[in-house]
Structure 1
Amino acid sequence: MQPDHLSSLAFADLPLHPRLQSGLQKLGFSHCTPIQAQALPRALAGEDLAGQAQTGTGKSAAFLLATMQRLLTVPRAEQDEPGQPRAIILAPTRELAVQIYNDAVGLGVDSGLRLTVCYGGAGYELQRQNIEAGVDILIGTPGRLIDYFKQGTYHLKQIEVLVLDEADRMFDLGFIADIRYLIRKMPPPAQRKNYLFSATLSQRVLELAYEHMNSPQKIEIAPDQVTAERVRQQLVHVANDEKLPFLVGLLRKLNAFRSLVFINTKRGAEDLERGLRANGFEARVLSGDVSQGTRLRLLEDFKEGKLPVLVATDVAARGLHIPGVDLVVNYDLPQDPEDYVHRIGRTARAGASGDAISLCCETWVYSLPEIEKYIGNRIPLMADAHALIPEDVVRVAREGRSRPRNGGGGGGGGHGRRSSRRRR
């Protein structure tokens, strides 16, 4: 019997190229996820797609298989310039671009297709050289892609497939003008295949789809289910100076293999890292100021289990697929309700289950009503949560201070917002 997170549609039953079937077999993938089951038959039939599905549901494999199928079954035109990209995949963040590239390498291991990824912050000359060496599928972030394009490193006249991933995030990060610039340099929509995927198919995303795609088929997977059902959500009301002690007790009790702790500020993340290290936990910070090389090493160490606790600002909340995250902790409640969904979506991915525990403190309590309204229910309170707070917590003063503030809890004091009230 198939796991309930997979569909009954087997990859072997799809008219995929034998080289792609070989890649799927090597990865151990036998059956489609729901988004793949809906998207792939339509894409293989030649339709454009505008797809909505939660993160971790297999969207990347859906558009990668469709893209590779096109390139393997339709040869380059004789008049085309060799080495120029035939497909381009645009991602809003460098982490997501790298993840898509890694997925493509696995799926296309036997395809013979040449893949290149480019993004800002690292490897400028090497990335340019990789493109110049010849590429079939070009993956990257808009800024770096435009940079190389304007230099004449590559052109877009031979693009047969366009993929926009996390389109809603493209709007959030202000990339839409860049995307339209690149699209205008490509053949018209009717002369290429177009796949757009997004966590939400808002009106602005759909307008982008209908403007630059060829009558796309709209696909929605569980659009009314805001949070993944396999995430066990719990809420704990804590004072600011209880936050670090509670987290220490929680990590000791659960002994999770991979714990992802979200916090709202870079300064708070650095303080928390020091506090966790002082209490015997190997922890590192992932924030916007971390260099690209360090960021990729941290993510790789976290994926491999070498780094058990990753403290992150919302730079890591979207678009990252990290298999096997056991525990997500909202050390600070996010200010944007959508960020809550994206944060807890880092666990319970691809049919697995996981825990998401949110600390509701004096500073960030005002975010709770909006979060619960957005997800459509109240987050269950954790029973006997305060019994987890240990007596032997090592408290570390913030840098530049001679003694801990608020008992060294790491949450920071209030900033004019109303104070926390525990629900009965």
Structure 2
Amino acid sequence: MKKTHLTETRFSNLELSDSIIKGLKEAGFINCTPIQDKSLPLSLRGKDIAGQAQTGTGKTATFLLATFQHLINDESEKIKNPRALILAPTRELAIQIHKDALALSKYLNLKFALIYGGTDYQKQLDKIKGNVDIIIGTPGRIIDFYRQGAFTLENIQVTVMDEADRMFDLGFIKDIRFLLRRMPPAEKRLNMLFSATLSYKVTELAYEHMNNPVLIRIESEEVTSKAINQVAYCPANEQKIPLLLGLLKQHQPQRSIVFVNTKRCAEQLDDYLQANGHKTAMLSGDVPQEKRQRLLNDFQENRVTLLIATDVAARGLHIPDVSHVFNYDLPQDVEDYVHRIGRTARFGASGEAISFICEEYAYSMPDIEDYIGEKVPVQAITPELMVEDVIKPERREPRERVMQRDKRAPRSEHKPREHRPARPQPATNQASTPENPPPPQTQQPA
């Protein structure tokens, strides 16, 4: 893999323990990325950090390494309660942070609790009641367990908020403040906040609940990675599916994500792609947690190489070797564009980001280009890019209608009148009955 976003600074030159350096070397980490180079020297000396960097540039390793070293330094105080809390906005991101934490702490005597909603309630509760050093999870369930008295926040020495802007988007900010106000004062903790974007409300949060943090920002021209080749096409709405099929045929992506704006569009696209020979997985906000994890595992293990997703998958997921990202629908939030295309070109690899400037969402492109500070080249739609014989899938019944019908199952099981079992009746001389008979009356035998 070509490393294009590494600095000359080596991890071995930082104030990290030999055990941490050993784990880094085994994981293949030798040189720092820019965000690591700027943040770690400060955080390793106890300085609070509010860092902004594009996705895939090593923010997770930055706060994990600083957390580990801080806890190692204070390891003489054997505290039987969590000493660090790492908050993430989504279950997927929490799972990924936990996975990275296990890899980088291979030679450390640290215990972790992974806490998130949707599944494994009792298992997680039992885990957090044990002697864990670091809690990694989403705010809702962590608060649930805290209110049950499963753990205390009185001994927290390190606090991390990852994807802080997403915390605001998902309405978690009250939960975060609830937790922060029950910890030791900010000056008695190491506090780190990381996000792909640092908006005014995020920096306000940082200054309110952190100890005079240093703001570390990337330059505006680096909002999107130079390793991502961005192109766009301007199809009419009816051209989008033939064009996508043609581009998939031409590029033959190793592993790709197609982003859409709505669940309904995801379902329609999933049907079309499967009907035309593509094995796909679909990820939207209402997919149950266990199924979501199964879909992501299938994608990561190459059992499925094409993932259709709404923006629920745009942030916090580190899926290696995503070669292509397709914006089938342009996002309506400019920041989501950066998060989406950041799923490719991870850690210095190259990638392709292909966007459709269609009739419905074309208005988003000028704002996107203003935000990323560059023009996205537009290419012509040539005939060879369009698949002519698109196979139409069988019409899918809307999921909402299916769910409503299922709720009414006892009533809806009744068939139309002509299919009901005939009610036993005496023989009659009548050759026929009216189409809409009057209310039943006592019939006299013939």
* TM score, norm. by length of structure 2: 0.86
| Structure 1 residues without counterparts, runs of 5 or longer | 402-424
**Could you tell me which residue of structure 2 aligns to residue 168 of structure 1?**
165
**Whole-Å Cα distance in 1 between the matches of residues 166 and 92 of structure 2?**
13
**Whole-Å Cα distance in 2 between the matches of residues 247 and 131 of structure 1?**
46
SS at match of 2:370: helix
**Could you tell me which residue of structure 2 aligns to residue 254 of structure 1?**
251
**Whole-Å Cα distance in 1 between the matches of residues 197 and 265 of structure 2?**
30
Aligned ranges for residues 27-46 of structure 1 at < 5 Å?
27-46=27-46
Point out the structure with max Rg over C-alpha. 2
**Whole-Å Cα distance in 1 between the matches of residues 215 and 361 of structure 2?**
37
CA contact (8 A) 2:221 2:373 kept: no
SS at match of 1:365: coil
**Whole-Å Cα distance in 2 between the matches of residues 71 and 248 of structure 1?**
51
Query: Residue 147 in 1 paired to residue 156 in 2?
Result: no
**Whole-Å Cα distance in 2 between the matches of residues 200 and 360 of structure 1?**
24
Q: CA RMSD in A?
A: 1.6
CA contact (8 A) 2:156 2:183 kept: yes
**Could you tell me which residue of structure 2 aligns to residue 53 of structure 1?**
53
**Could you tell me which residue of structure 1 aligns to residue 280 of structure 2?**
283
Q: What does the per-residue CA deviation read over 1:278-315, in whole Å, with 9 as the maximum and x for residues that have no partner? A: 11111010000111111112112212222100000011
* Cα shift at 1:384: 4.6
Q: What does the per-residue CA deviation read over 1:136-169, in whole Å, with 9 as the maximum and x for residues that have no partner? A: 1100111111000001111101100000111111
For 1:176, give the aligned amino acid. Answer: I
**Whole-Å Cα distance in 1 between the matches of residues 287 and 59 of structure 2?**
28
**Could you tell me which residue of structure 2 aligns to residue 25 of structure 1?**
25
**Could you tell me which residue of structure 1 aligns to residue 441 of structure 2?**
none
**Whole-Å Cα distance in 2 between the matches of residues 137 and 223 of structure 1?**
34
Query: Residue 68 in 1 paired to residue 68 in 2?
Result: yes
Length, aligned pairs only: 397
Given candidates 98, 102, 106, the residue that maps to 1:101 is 98
Given candidates 78, 83, 89, the residue that maps to 1:86 is 83
For 2:103, give the aligned amino acid. Answer: G
* Cα shift at 1:105: 0.8
* TM score, norm. by length of structure 1: 0.90
Q: What does the per-residue CA deviation read over 1:343-393, in whole Å, with 9 as the maximum and x for residues that have no partner? A: 111111211111111112222223233223333333211245442112232
**Whole-Å Cα distance in 1 between the matches of residues 176 and 51 of structure 2?**
18
| Structure 2 residues without counterparts, runs of 5 or longer | 399-446
**Could you tell me which residue of structure 2 aligns to residue 266 of structure 1?**
263
Runs of 4 or more consecutive aligned structure 1 residues displaced over 6 Å after TM superposition: none
**Whole-Å Cα distance in 2 between the matches of residues 23 and 335 of structure 1?**
41
* Cα shift at 1:17: 1.3
CA contact (8 A) 1:246 1:386 kept: no
**Could you tell me which residue of structure 2 aligns to residue 366 of structure 1?**
363
**Could you tell me which residue of structure 1 aligns to residue 306 of structure 2?**
309
Q: What does the per-residue CA deviation read over 1:202-249, in whole Å, with 9 as the maximum and x for residues that have no partner? A: 222112111111121221233443222221111111122221111111
CA contact (8 A) 1:53 1:222 kept: no
For 1:30, give the aligned amino acid. Answer: I
**Whole-Å Cα distance in 2 between the matches of residues 293 and 346 of structure 1?**
22
SS at match of 1:270: helix
For 2:40, give the aligned amino acid. Answer: L
**Whole-Å Cα distance in 2 between the matches of residues 310 and 263 of structure 1?**
11
**Whole-Å Cα distance in 1 between the matches of residues 375 and 221 of structure 2?**
16
Query: Residue 202 in 1 paired to residue 202 in 2?
Result: no
Query: Residue 239 in 1 paired to residue 236 in 2?
Result: yes
Question: Which of 203-212 and 101-110 deviates more?
Answer: 203-212
SS at match of 2:347: coil
State the identity as a percent.
Answer: 54
